[in-house]
Chains A and B, each alone.
Chain A
């Protein structure tokens, strides 16, 4: 950290080159200066701001510019990160303006959005950045007033000595010249004034008035528009007849590269029209094309006879199962899913003689840069990456395939190119959540104690489709977790809460099946297992037993577990991405069908930085988890998905959401991420509640397409 801050000092002036230069994404107001005050323009603030470190600049106008390094895709990091810097700087939030930083691997070391990892990674760094600048301001004030630093305090953007008050703006020039202090003191968490208060999204105004913010909003002088027709999975290009397509007015050219057919022109609509005129023929690469029926066969064959990769083995499962009084066995399956963010994939690339300019929505700007450098044969430092706001990501934008396409085209055309994927391209274009099937087996002894547990999973391009150290591992004497993978030409990728987005549903549903077989209450059963893991752990334990216990107990309490008449409750609890979330769903029977009324969620993500943002992330994750568990299906015929747009690729709608009540455990522990952890438990809580209400156990997703769920009506608010 110390070294990093020193290096950053050398970027003192460099920052203006990146920050000031005609940003398309604009400069974002966070607060509002009071209407009586003169409104200081963004330019004025930026041009006069003095850089203190990678994260912040202070302007003599008293405004503070805080740079947000990580891509913003709706996880609200562009608000929560600056809050942390501002907290330690001790500045009035209404004086803060936030700007998205460009990719800069010298200044920042994890400009990635994925894995809910940014917050734990940056918490200390952001605090130190703010505290360091505050210390420099105090030292400058001490010099000016001829007093000692220990006699000074700060408050709301002022350094205070007795009755004397100096604003940060007045001190900025002098403070920027102070040597960067090595060891700065961080605030006591009890003294936080901004962290822990609900701070509104810094882009609200821009979003709600239609300002250009997203990748698709990029338009540049001389820019060529492009769309690409890609082959189905497992096929390659055989021939193209572009005669008719080229005749569409506004189309400039049709070119092929790497099995792709690209149409370029001067605006988007002619390209969409021309694509319908393209006559493209494909041929299978190795004679075989995959469909859903084939995948189902693969699952069963591999589950029955495939050789599993043993991920964890405790005790002796064979012995446990042969001595069992009762055995419970179930299979759970999920389809592929497209990420389908509302903004389809797109990117702007301009390959020039001396480098490459990239602009657009990416979760991994560094990967985008390296991909461009490789294609163009230049060193990565010749590539600039400007991150726009992302119209959602869900993991799809961790890939750089769409960046590579834009770069290839710009290189071929020798022009700036904006590549746009249509919704159909986005849904059929791959890198899906892998389809997976699990087989669970549990052995109970005569006293209904869980003595054996087996999980065997087959994933299509899933890598390891199990998480061997998840609860209940550690609480069962004999346990075997195996993972198998089938390699398919259908591309897959991390999808919000990778693997656990389905595994959690399966595990939490199965635990309820086991609890029932043991004649135990689902909450009591989980607590019993946690007690066992605590008092007499089996093998390694990778979750914090006390934190998990606390969310189970709290969600049971908040939901009035087991105390409500006429309401069927289902519980689910999950630890993923360093946070703990417990949920209880409630269903009622109406005219013979279960209706989902409400879900309670209790989250332990340590310190809640921004309560309004945290509530959003939990809600959003749950709606996402519910929607895909209930409704969304993706099936394949001959290497291409049958669902191509939102008419058949079914997303959850407003009518279908139950009431959600969120709670957070406030334990003062350093914060962990929230973009993903609330999603995994939701499917399980819902399935368990539906079972309790109707006696129908759904084991496959999407629920609504399963036989058990025919005639079920949802979310009819009470």
Chain B
């Protein structure tokens, strides 16, 4: 066990866990930030996506010891009142079915749009393709990313 100081959603946290503990389980089990989801645990679905600095990262395979001083943002901290343009677009397009994958989709989309604020349709598909939605909400995800991009302009 070792002590780790983490910067998450603008706050400091301290946890005492094994160094190989994935950030996902620290967020969920130790810090009560359950918006970040577990689904595959092997970086295959994107449900656990968080931002490390501005990068979308799969927290299920990121050991807590690798986080260091990097700024972690989870779905809970993406915006103060749930009003990030991507969240708003998701609401407007009414994207979700079961909703379980959507935190990861939103985090992926937000990081993607930050790098590429005016993506083409093809770029959107490339950017989001690695996130699985078992309910098949892909059409609406595409539409919502487009809308969020328009909103940010």
Instruction: Please indicate the chain A residues that have their CB under 8 angstroms from the CB of B36 in the complex.
Output: 210
B150 contacts A by Cβ under 8 Å: no
In whole angstroms, how far apart are the Cα atoms of A622 and B29 in the complex?
36
The interface bits of chain B over 88-109 (1 if a CB of A lies within 8 angstroms of the residue's CB, else 0) are: 0011001011111111001000
Contact call A204/B21, Cβ cutoff below 8 A: no
Quick one: which of A201, A268, A389 contacts B28, CB cutoff 8 A? Answer: A268
Given A619-B139, A646-B45: A343 in contact with B75 (beta carbons within 8 A): no
Instruction: Please indicate the chain B residues that have their CB under 8 angstroms from the CB of A209 in the complex.
Output: 35, 75-76, 78, 82, 87
Contact call A213/B99, Cβ cutoff below 8 A: yes
In whole angstroms, how far apart are the Cα atoms of A214 and B18 in the complex?
26
B134 contacts A by Cβ under 8 Å: yes
Contact call B25/A269, Cβ cutoff below 8 A: yes
Contact call A653/B132, Cβ cutoff below 8 A: yes
Q: Pick the 4 closest A-B CB pairs, nearest first.
A: A210-B35, A623-B136, A391-B100, A74-B98
* Interface size, chain B (Cβ < 8 Å): 60
Q: Which of A97-105, A548-556, A600-608, A654-662 is the contact stretch?
A: A654-662
A647 contacts B by Cβ under 8 Å: yes
State which residues 176-229 of A face B: CB under 8 Å.
198, 200-201, 203-205, 207-214, 216-217, 219, 225
In whole angstroms, how far apart are the Cα atoms of A645 and B74 in the complex?
25
Instruction: Please indicate the chain B residues that have their CB under 8 angstroms from the CB of A423 in the complex.
Output: 39-42
In whole angstroms, how far apart are the Cα atoms of A611 and B129 in the complex?
27
B135 contacts A by Cβ under 8 Å: yes
Contact call B42/A616, Cβ cutoff below 8 A: no
What is the chain B residue whose CB lies nearest that of A394? Answer: B134
Contact call B100/A654, Cβ cutoff below 8 A: no
In whole angstroms, how far apart are the Cα atoms of A340 and B103 in the complex?
18
Contact call A660/B139, Cβ cutoff below 8 A: yes
Instruction: Please indicate the chain B residues that have their CB under 8 angstroms from the CB of A660 in the complex.
Output: 139
What are 19 inter-chain pairs, A to B, with CB distance below 8 A? A204-B91, A210-B34, A210-B36, A213-B99, A269-B17, A269-B22, A273-B18, A342-B134, A343-B39, A343-B98, A392-B100, A392-B135, A616-B140, A619-B139, A620-B136, A621-B136, A646-B39, A647-B42, A717-B121
Contact call A272/B41, Cβ cutoff below 8 A: yes
State which residues 613-639 of A face B: CB under 8 Å.
616-617, 619-624, 627
Contact call A651/B33, Cβ cutoff below 8 A: no
With A342-B134, A660-B139 already in contact, 20 other A-B pairs whose C-beta atoms are closer than 8 Å: A204-B96, A207-B102, A207-B103, A208-B102, A208-B106, A209-B75, A267-B30, A340-B134, A341-B134, A342-B101, A343-B39, A344-B38, A389-B98, A390-B98, A392-B135, A393-B98, A423-B42, A612-B94, A646-B42, A653-B129
Interface of A (DSSP majority class): loop
A436 contacts B by Cβ under 8 Å: no
Tell me the smallest distance from the CB of A219 to a CB of chain B, in Å. 7
Tell me the smallest distance from the CB of B149 to a CB of chain A, in Å. 16
Quick one: which of A204, A217, A340 contacts B34, CB cutoff 8 A? Answer: A217
Contact call B1/A216, Cβ cutoff below 8 A: no
In whole angstroms, how far apart are the Cα atoms of A390 and B134 in the complex?
13
A8 contacts B by Cβ under 8 Å: no
A254 contacts B by Cβ under 8 Å: no
Contact call A269/B135, Cβ cutoff below 8 A: no
A709 contacts B by Cβ under 8 Å: no
Instruction: Please indicate the chain B residues that have their CB under 8 angstroms from the CB of A203 in the complex.
Output: 96, 99
The interface bits of chain B over 123-153 (1 if a CB of A lies within 8 angstroms of the residue's CB, else 0) are: 0011011111111111111100000000000
Instruction: Please indicate the chain B residues that have their CB under 8 angstroms from the CB of A268 in the complex.
Output: 25, 28-29, 38
Tell me the smallest distance from the CB of A662 to a CB of chain B, in Å. 10
Given A207-B103, A341-B134, A342-B134: A646 in contact with B35 (beta carbons within 8 A): no
What is the chain A residue whose CB lies nearest that of B98? Answer: A74
What is the chain B residue whose CB lies nearest that of A218? Answer: B34
Instruction: Please indicate the chain B residues that have their CB under 8 angstroms from the CB of A208 in the complex.
Output: 75, 82, 87, 90-91, 96, 102-103, 106
B44 contacts A by Cβ under 8 Å: yes
In whole angstroms, how far apart are the Cα atoms of A250 and B59 in the complex?
20
What is the chain A residue whose CB lies nearest that of B27? Answer: A210
Tell me the smallest distance from the CB of B67 to a CB of chain A, in Å. 15
B37 contacts A by Cβ under 8 Å: yes
A76 contacts B by Cβ under 8 Å: yes
Tell me the smallest distance from the CB of B34 to a CB of chain A, in Å. 4
In whole angstroms, how far apart are the Cα atoms of A246 and B96 in the complex?
41
In whole angstroms, how far apart are the Cα atoms of A654 and B44 in the complex?
14
What is the chain A residue whose CB lies nearest that of B140? Answer: A616
Tell me the smallest distance from the CB of B62 to a CB of chain A, in Å. 12
Quick one: which of A273, A624, A654, A655 contacts B141, CB cutoff 8 A? Answer: A654
Instruction: Please indicate the chain A residues that have their CB under 8 angstroms from the CB of B32 in the complex.
Output: 219
Tell me the smallest distance from the CB of B111 to a CB of chain A, in Å. 16
Instruction: Please indicate the chain B residues that have their CB under 8 angstroms from the CB of A157 in the complex.
Output: none
Contact call B137/A616, Cβ cutoff below 8 A: yes
B47 contacts A by Cβ under 8 Å: yes
